[in-house]
Amino acid sequence: MTNTAEILIVEDDPQIRRFLRATFTAEGYRFHEALTASEGIAQWAARQPDLIVLDLGLPDQDGAEVIRHVRESSQTPIIVLSARGQEKDKIDALDLGADDFVSKPFAVGELLARIRAALRRASIIADQAEGAIFRTSGVEVDLARRVTSVNGREVHLTPIEFRLLQTLIRHVGKVITQRQLLVEVWGAQHSEQSQYLRVYMAQLRRKLEADPARPRFLLTEPGVGYRLVEIV
Question: What is the SS3 assignment for 25-83?
Answer: HHHCCEEEEECCHHHHHHHHHHHCCCEEEEECECCCCEHHHHHHHHHCCCCCCEEEEEE
Q: Rg for the chain (alpha carbons), in Å? A: 18
Residue nearest to Ca ion (CB): 57
For the beta carbon of residue 3, count every other beta carbon within 10 angstroms: 16
Which residue type sits at 217?
Answer: F
Choose the binding region for Ca ion from 18-26, 56-64, 110-118, 197-205 (rule: CB under 5 A).
Answer: 56-64
Query: Which residues, listed in sequence order, are joined to residue 101 by a DSSP beta bridge?
Result: 80
Is residue 97 part of the contact set for Ca ion (CB under 5 A)?
no
Is residue 12 part of the contact set for Ca ion (CB under 5 A)?
yes
Is residue 221 part of the contact set for Ca ion (CB under 5 A)?
no
Find, among 195, 133, 205, the residue nearest to 169 by Cα. Answer: 133
Binding residue (CB under 5 A) for Ca ion from 3, 32, 57, 86: 57
Whether the Cβ atoms of residue 119 and residue 50 lie closer than 8 Å to each other: yes
Choose the binding region for Ca ion from 49-57, 115-123, 184-192, 219-227 (rule: CB under 5 A).
Answer: 49-57
Choose the binding region for Ca ion from 17-25, 55-63, 70-78, 155-163 (rule: CB under 5 A).
Answer: 55-63
Binding residue (CB under 5 A) for Ca ion from 5, 20, 54, 55: 55
Per the rule left: phi > 0, alpha: psi between -120 and 50, beta: everything else, 92 is: alpha
Sheet holding 218-221, edge to edge: 175-177, 225-228, 218-221
Nearer to Ca ion, 15 or 195 (CB): 15
Residues from 114 through 173 that contact Ca ion (CB under 5 A): none
Nearer to Ca ion, 50 or 55 (CB): 55
Rounded distance between C-alpha atoms, residue 95 and residue 132, angstroms: 26
Residues from 166 through 185 that contact Ca ion (CB under 5 A): none
Nearer to Ca ion, 32 or 120 (CB): 32
Choose the binding region for Ca ion from 13-21, 108-116, 146-154, 212-220 (rule: CB under 5 A).
Answer: 13-21
Query: Which residues, listed in sequence order, are joined to residue 57 by a DSSP beta bridge?
Result: 62
Choose the binding region for Ca ion from 6-14, 36-44, 99-107, 167-175 (rule: CB under 5 A).
Answer: 6-14
By CB under 5 A, how many residues form the interface with Ca ion? 4
Least distance (Å) between residue 58 CB and Ca ion: 6
Nearer to Ca ion, 61 or 128 (CB): 61
Provide the total of helices (H) and of strands (E) in the chain, helices listed first.
8, 12
- Residues at the site binding Ca ion, with contacts judged by CB under 5 A: 12-13, 55, 57
